[in-house]
Amino acid sequence: MINYFAGVDIGSTMTKVVIYGEGIRAMIIGPTGPEHRKLANKVMEEALIQAHLKFEDLSYIIATGYGRINVPFADRQVTEITCHAKGLHSLLPTVKTVVDIGGQDSKGIKIKDGRVVSFVMNDKCAAGTGRFIEIMADSLGVPLNDMGRLSLTADKPAMISSTCTVFAEHEVTNQLSGGETLPNLVAGIHESVATRVASLVKKLNIEPDVAITGGGAKNIGLVKALEKKLGCPVLIPPEPLITGALGAAILAKEIFEKYTKEGQVPERSKSGLQEAKFFD
């Protein structure tokens, strides 16, 4: 009999669910949205449908990410730092340094045998996060998904000197009016984010292999810029958005098996698959 486990990662921008048995059985990625506290159960329902399982089939559930406390049916909450390390180690075991570029923060994590050795986070300024690129894409009228590809056609990335997102937006529109090409501007935007992220992660004393996760990993222009700033190649897992949810699911499995081995049953959440009631 196979036991199934779930990891729910409620990030600031995207919500991810992974159901794990002897491998990934289902994964769902969707926007978090403003009502995310109420929607965790709906995302889980979708994942269960994809996995052809019932909620009762899940032996243990871990919630992670910024919204982790708002998942009433989760049996335990674990931070995204621990879950990213665990998930990434299962996908790319040689990686010692993880760079996660999310919607509203960026992080660096040093890992050893799947465990966190140290970490750094940028959560005070949008300039080193995916949000910076989103705002600039909006300003330039370029679809977010086209930013990476467009930047690869640049001949000379523009210099974006402002570190504040609001001022940088103004600077970008000024340069556009001054005749700078769109590819050069987009490449400059990626270099600006990569510079901020690299200076954050370098505090960790980077060791290869280095991997990138989060929405930033889906932007090839940003990945190339980051490789340049870090001075080493950067690995990308097959689906860079789910490493946190995957790590949470694997951790759920490990905790469950540890208890079982000791002849015990881990304590479960008493809430079933229901929405959080915080705002009612």
**Which residues sit at the interface with other proteins, rule CB under 8 A?**
66, 78-82, 105, 112, 115-121, 123-124, 203, 205
Question: Shortest gap between Cβ of 82 and other proteins (angstroms)?
Answer: 5
CA distance 26 to 87: 15
Q: How far is CA 97 from the centre of its chain?
A: 15
Question: Shortest gap between Cβ of 122 and other proteins (angstroms)?
Answer: 9
CB neighbour list of residue 148: distance below 8 Å, 6 or more residues apart: 190, 218, 219, 220, 221, 222, 223
Virtual torsion, Cα 87, 21, 238, 78, nearest 10 deg: -20
Question: Shortest gap between Cβ of 93 and other proteins (angstroms)?
Answer: 17
Question: Shortest gap between Cβ of 77 and other proteins (angstroms)?
Answer: 8
Question: Shortest gap between Cβ of 164 and other proteins (angstroms)?
Answer: 13
The residue (of 56 and 262) whose beta carbon lies closer to other proteins is 262
Nearest partner of 210 among 239, 234, 194, judged by Cα: 234
The residue (of 82 and 192) whose beta carbon lies closer to other proteins is 82
The residue (of 79 and 173) whose beta carbon lies closer to other proteins is 79
The residue (of 76 and 224) whose beta carbon lies closer to other proteins is 76
CA 243, 249, 253: angle at the middle one, nearest 5? 140
Question: Shortest gap between Cβ of 45 and other proteins (angstroms)?
Answer: 27
48 class by beta-carbon count within 10 Å (0-12 exposed, 13-18 middle, 19+ buried): buried
Q: What Cα–Cα distance (Å) separates residue 150 from each residue in 138, 142, 186, 213?
A: 14, 9, 7, 21
Instruction: Give φ, ψ of 188 to 5 degrees.
Output: -65, -40
Question: Shortest gap between Cβ of 142 and other proteins (angstroms)?
Answer: 30
22 class by beta-carbon count within 10 Å (0-12 exposed, 13-18 middle, 19+ buried): exposed
The residue (of 202 and 277) whose beta carbon lies closer to other proteins is 202
Nearest partner of 42 among 277, 280, 274, 278, judged by Cα: 274
The residue (of 78 and 101) whose beta carbon lies closer to other proteins is 78
The residue (of 104 and 181) whose beta carbon lies closer to other proteins is 104
Question: Shortest gap between Cβ of 36 and other proteins (angstroms)?
Answer: 14
The residue (of 20 and 66) whose beta carbon lies closer to other proteins is 66
Biggest CA pair distance of the chain: 71
Structural contact between residues 84 and 243, judged by C-beta atoms closer than 8 angstroms: yes
